[in-house]
Chain A
């Protein structure tokens, strides 16, 4: 009897396990906890894109996709646990969805030979692939974001920011402090004065910071916020009647969640982005047909076209395109994580490719290489239209100031290499 039970259990496990030939992707998501409102649309977009590929194309290169989701709750310890418990599944790439988790996974994933893609977050200097062989942060990083914000302000001021006052309201954490160095360097170049206003986690009380802004009347406010800090900051800006068109958030401060609580007052608020907004793309027709209408959507199907859903969709699409590149490079459909890394390092996204994928004019064109794991640093600015209840992209993609950023990235990555005994190099 016991033997029968064991045999039945083994048979059940074998039947339930994914076929080893599947391409496994991990999804470290956070559908619970204080940041669930942001985690859910991203996770839905990420999952729906892979479901679409399975349903419409039969996977990637004929191999079905097996998505392994693990709940992190946006907690670094849980994120690391997720990595440790799922890496045995043969995951081709990890997208940690948190700067804290990314920092923890950099040495682990490098040692395990598994690539990490931190899209628009994580360690900025990971752009230097000669030092961070397994870490990728294309198409844009935080320093690109800071530079694109300044470039937008330069455009608004006829190329001259001399004498202007810019305030940075930032989450008092490693994430929030990321743009400071870049903004300081750019202030030397462009002659603006920078005021730094730190907000303690979680950011529910920001009266002091906004009273200071009211007193000092900076010409522009840039925000590096997350979670409740964003909603409170936008509401406080409305309260002191700060001109919203002069208030720009990083891409993690620019979703519908951040502006809706402030209602009409948030009209005109701006946010940076590295992908387009809305759902007016041919790809969405396929998502509706093969995923939503087929009852296979990841969530309730109510997040389609939101900023963070689009970001999740884009992240999955870049992972799938890297997998295709790896398959073509190595002549096999069943790639390994190391081959996936090669695919990511040779990924090239062009407008023609994006159009063929059903996302014309959605993301910037870029080419990854060993020396450049971060893309070409293109970003754009979106603006909230409260009446229509939607974000609009109001600029073309602009490239960050490579002249200022490249030496910073080289300096930071070289320091990391020295600390960790890494000999920089490209294979």
Chain B
């Protein structure tokens, strides 16, 4: 195979993998929007907060230690133990459920029936609060996240694809990051579980009923409070998964909250209300931006990925405003 075709295929495969990582972030947005009509600006910060909490628990870090030391004049930072990754993930999930309850209890319970823009503003406030709260709770240093996931190029794939070059010295076999492969498997499982949950469980059906019409759902005895706490908890779990995957690449740090920027074009393209849409949107954005960078990037000085993702999303938006899989919005006069 010619060089460009081989390298193009490699870029395409890596684009798919990157797309899965974008989709993981987008999924959290979709879940909350689907159930409550809220565009959760805080989703990226939730991923950061979840990852910070996970590392903090794993390392046995004392939460709010800087604050405690400053007030009490003590010098405590660690409990002196380490928590296994699985247990730490479960405990972190517990924290995310408490967070979901608090968000519902102290913010959104008081904003029922408010305009969407008010709810959106509330999530902006929540995002900045959580960023500061996470900082005070766990500190702002960059933390290494190691939950035992494999990382680095897969030797097996490299060795077993080298023959595709037919002796081409410039081709070393396809590069695929093991972490991206794991992320793909996890994302696939997550989507299947979420679809099954929303289609075939009582709570899932109640969630969809709330999404369709709050008043009608209330009238048949569905607890709005419960459903929203549940949805924010599930979104918290998705944020945790996204935080683990992205945090393993860069360390857990405050820039992690910016991964939300990667999810926006995915949402525009896939639709705000479709779980499969988030995945397909992620894949299209991932492949589109990587292939554009590969083909056009060298002609225009590179660094095209950030803006091209939005161009791609805008093109789809013009022809399908509700996104590929989104529900068509029909307003009757």
CB B148 to nearest CB in A, in angstroms, measures 13
Q: B250 near A235 (CB under 8 angstroms)?
A: yes
Q: Which of A211, A240, A261 has the most CB of B within 10 A?
A: A261
Q: A36 near B254 (CB under 8 angstroms)?
A: yes
Q: Which of A295-336 contact B (CB under 8 A)?
A: 295, 300, 302
- Among the listed B152, B250, B262, B294, which residue makes an inter-chain contact with A238, where contact means beta carbons less than 8 Å apart? B152
Name the CB-closest residue of A to B178.
Answer: A239
| Chain A residues positioned under 8 Å from B225 (CB to CB) | none
Q: B302 near A197 (CB under 8 angstroms)?
A: yes
CB A204 to nearest CB in B, in angstroms, measures 6
With known contacts A205-B18, A207-B290, A232-B250, A198–B152 Cβ distance under 8 A = no
Q: A204 near B250 (CB under 8 angstroms)?
A: yes
Bound state CA distance, A367 and B59, in angstroms?
47
Chain A 34-49, CB-CB to B under 8 Å as 1, else 0, gives: 1111001000000000
With known contacts A207-B14, A232-B250, A261-B250, A241–B306 Cβ distance under 8 A = no
With known contacts A200-B306, A228-B250, A231-B250, A32–B69 Cβ distance under 8 A = no
Bound state CA distance, A235 and B251, in angstroms?
9
Bound state CA distance, A265 and B248, in angstroms?
13
Q: Which of B125-182 contact A (CB under 8 A)?
A: 132, 135, 140-146, 151-153, 170, 172, 175, 177
Name the CB-closest residue of B to A198.
Answer: B303
| Chain B residues positioned under 8 Å from A211 (CB to CB) | 7, 10-11, 14, 175
B residues lining the A interface (CB < 8 Å): 7, 10-11, 14, 17-18, 66, 69, 73, 77, 132, 135, 140-146, 151-153, 170, 172, 175, 177, 246, 249-251, 253-259, 262, 290, 293-294, 297, 301-303, 305-307
- Among the listed B135, B153, B253, B301, which residue makes an inter-chain contact with A231, where contact means beta carbons less than 8 Å apart? B253
CB B239 to nearest CB in A, in angstroms, measures 16
**Interface check A411, CB cutoff 8 A:** no
Bound state CA distance, A302 and B14, in angstroms?
40
Q: B254 near A214 (CB under 8 angstroms)?
A: no
| Chain A residues positioned under 8 Å from B10 (CB to CB) | 211
A residues lining the B interface (CB < 8 Å): 31-37, 40, 172, 196-202, 204-205, 207-209, 211, 214-215, 227-228, 231-232, 235, 238-241, 257, 260-261, 263, 265, 295, 300, 302
Q: B251 near A261 (CB under 8 angstroms)?
A: yes
With known contacts A205-B18, A239-B152, A200–B303 Cβ distance under 8 A = yes
| Chain A residues positioned under 8 Å from B172 (CB to CB) | 214
Name the CB-closest residue of B to A257.
Answer: B142
A-B contact pairs, 24 of them (CB 8 A): A32-B132, A33-B254, A36-B140, A36-B254, A37-B141, A37-B253, A37-B254, A172-B303, A196-B301, A198-B303, A200-B307, A204-B259, A205-B305, A208-B297, A209-B302, A211-B7, A228-B250, A228-B258, A231-B251, A231-B253, A241-B152, A257-B141, A257-B142, A257-B251
Q: A196 near B14 (CB under 8 angstroms)?
A: no
Q: B18 near A207 (CB under 8 angstroms)?
A: yes
Q: B255 near A228 (CB under 8 angstroms)?
A: yes
| Chain B residues positioned under 8 Å from A265 (CB to CB) | 152
Q: B177 near A198 (CB under 8 angstroms)?
A: no
| Chain B residues positioned under 8 Å from A300 (CB to CB) | 66, 69, 77
Q: A208 near B305 (CB under 8 angstroms)?
A: yes
Q: A240 near B175 (CB under 8 angstroms)?
A: yes
| Chain B residues positioned under 8 Å from A215 (CB to CB) | 7, 170
| Chain A residues positioned under 8 Å from B306 (CB to CB) | 200-201
Q: B14 near A34 (CB under 8 angstroms)?
A: no
With known contacts A36-B135, A37-B142, A197-B302, A208–B249 Cβ distance under 8 A = no
Bound state CA distance, A306 and B111, in angstroms?
47
Bound state CA distance, A211 and B233, in angstroms?
37
Closest 4 CB pairs of A and B: A261-B251, A198-B303, A228-B255, A36-B140
